[in-house]
């Protein structure tokens, strides 16, 4: 024992650290040796949003010595309902900077490295090289498949989490010991089939539950204790407070982790998934198919005949609505398409333009041509035309 603390090998805990982690040290599964393992360990968290927030905070509090944070977004007011690593004072700041400040406030004895850049095929292997575990805190399929392939190629465990509305999933994908993500989901869903949290919403406390479970699995892996969820997918339903476990098997024909793997290097994951690797709310249409809010307002004011169609869900009308619009939720549009007149000039809108862009593609595929998507949706209308309406 030195004056500064207890030392085993090349890693030591100061007196202050021994006091900080005393509740860990009392547990034989952790103890002094385990706490020193955590201090030697490094974890990369991809995403500092809903899932990344509780994961990062609990790993920092637990004493994981090096935490890497990857994100390239800024803190937005709408994040604060669930992304608890950030605060009101952080609005407009880079997310990685905001998160780093909070983690070092929780535990100044750790190292926090930030990567204020997208996690891409070009930089992923370089960034991941310095870390023991990769944690998936993302909100999109391209990055999720990228994280999986990086995990397989580097032999590192991938602690997976996913959330939507009231439901969440957790697993550990570690190809050296069990299945990888692609063993279970070899192909991404068709573009537009699975709405994002920005479109469908997310229960504010849900990422806390799932993120805390991801942090638990990470610490178990780092300490070598318990049974990590390798080969098991945990399903959580917050409405019924129900957990279900599904056993997963390795796919002997997996394109990435099998002996005869077809994918042996990182690919273009946005092209593979057919969607961008971000959760920003925006349509994906050429400008010729879009109309600006002020232009639409001018048409309506001048008496032009325009058929407005709101493709949002009925409960969203209580937040904001355009009284002239016909409400046809996106999921009902195909069944009600026969009621529309293709000779009409139709303007579709939703909250932000994403769902209405899909609605436009559906109608265009059925032969409608006089179509426009309200760029930015009713939120843009509220900002540019009618400030009495709230933005949500």
Q: How far apart are CA 126 and CA 214, in angstroms?
A: 23
- Give DSSP secondary structure letters for 272-339: HHTS-SS--------GGGEE-HHHHHHHHHTT---EEEE-S-GGGGGT---TTPEE--HHHHHHHGGG
Angle 293-301/377-384 helices, nearest 10 degrees? 70
Q: How far apart are CA 133 and CA 327, in angstroms?
A: 47
pTM equals: 0.81
Write out the catalytic residue numbers: 197, 350
Smallest CA-to-CA distance from 254 within 149, 116, 168 is with: 149
Neighbours of 360 (CB within 10 A): 24
Q: pLDDT tens-digit profile of 266-283?
A: 999 999 998 887 655 554
- 24 backbone dihedrals φ, ψ, rounded to 5°: -75, -45
Can you give the pLDDT at residue 277? 79
Q: pLDDT tens-digit profile of 47-89?
A: 999 999 999 999 999 999 999 999 999 999 999 999 999 999 9
DSSP character for 391? P
Outline where 116-180 has alpha helix (H).
Answer: 124-128, 141-154
Residue with the two structure tokens 């982690």? 21
Q: In sequence order, what are the beta bridge partners of 158? A: 134, 173
Decide the pairing of beta strands 242-247 and 290-291.
unpaired
Q: pLDDT tens-digit profile of 323-363?
A: 999 999 999 999 999 999 999 999 999 999 999 999 999 99
């Amino acid at each position: 024992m030195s004056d500064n603390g207890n030392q085993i090998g090349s890693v030591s805990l100061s007196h202050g650290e021994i006091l900080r982690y005393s509740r860990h040290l009392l547990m034989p599964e952790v103890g002094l040796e385990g706490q020193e393992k955590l201090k030697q360990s490094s974890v990369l968290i991809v995403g500092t949003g809903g899932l990344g927030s509780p994961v990062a905070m609990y790993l920092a509090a637990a004493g994981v010595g090096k935490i890497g944070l990857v994100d390239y977004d800024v803190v937005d007011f709408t994040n604060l309902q669930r992304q608890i690593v950030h605060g009101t004072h952080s609005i407009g700041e880079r997310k990685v900077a905001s998160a780093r400040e909070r983690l070092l406030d929780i535990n100044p004895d750790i190292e926090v490295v930030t990567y204020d850049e997208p996690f891409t095929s070009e930089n992923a292997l370089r960034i991941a090289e310095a870390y023991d575990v990769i944690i998936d805190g993302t909100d999109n399929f391209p990055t999720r498949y990228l994280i999986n392939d990086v995990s397989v190629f580097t032999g590192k465990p991938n602690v997976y989490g996913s959330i939507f509305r009231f439901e969440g999933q957790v697993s550990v994908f570690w190809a050296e010991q069990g299945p990888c993500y692609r063993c279970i989901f070899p192909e991404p869903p068709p573009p537009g089939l699975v709405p994002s949290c920005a479109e469908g919403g997310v229960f504010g406390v849900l990422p806390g539950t799932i993120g805390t479970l991801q942090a638990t699995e990470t610490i178990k892996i780092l300490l070598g204790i318990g049974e990590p969820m390798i080969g098991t997918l945990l399903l959580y339903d917050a409405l019924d407070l129900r957990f279900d476990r599904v056993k997963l098997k390795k796919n002997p024909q997996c394109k990435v982790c099998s002996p005869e793997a077809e994918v042996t290097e990182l690919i273009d994951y946005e092209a593979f998934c057919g969607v961008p690797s971000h959760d920003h709310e925006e349509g994906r249409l050429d400008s010729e198919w879009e109309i600006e809010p002020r232009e639409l307002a001018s048409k309506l004011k001048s008496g032009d005949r325009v058929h407005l169609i709101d493709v949002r869900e009925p409960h969203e009308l209580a937040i904001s609505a355009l009284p002239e619009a016909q409400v046809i939720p996106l999921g009902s549009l195909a069944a009600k398409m026969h009621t529309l007149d293709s000779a009409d000039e139709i303007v579709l809108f939703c909250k932000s333009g994403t769902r209405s862009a899909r609605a436009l593609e559906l109608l265009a595929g059925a032969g409608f041509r006089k179509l426009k998507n309200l760029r930015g949706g009713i939120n843009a209308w509220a900002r540019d035309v009618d400030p009495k309406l709230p933005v949500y």
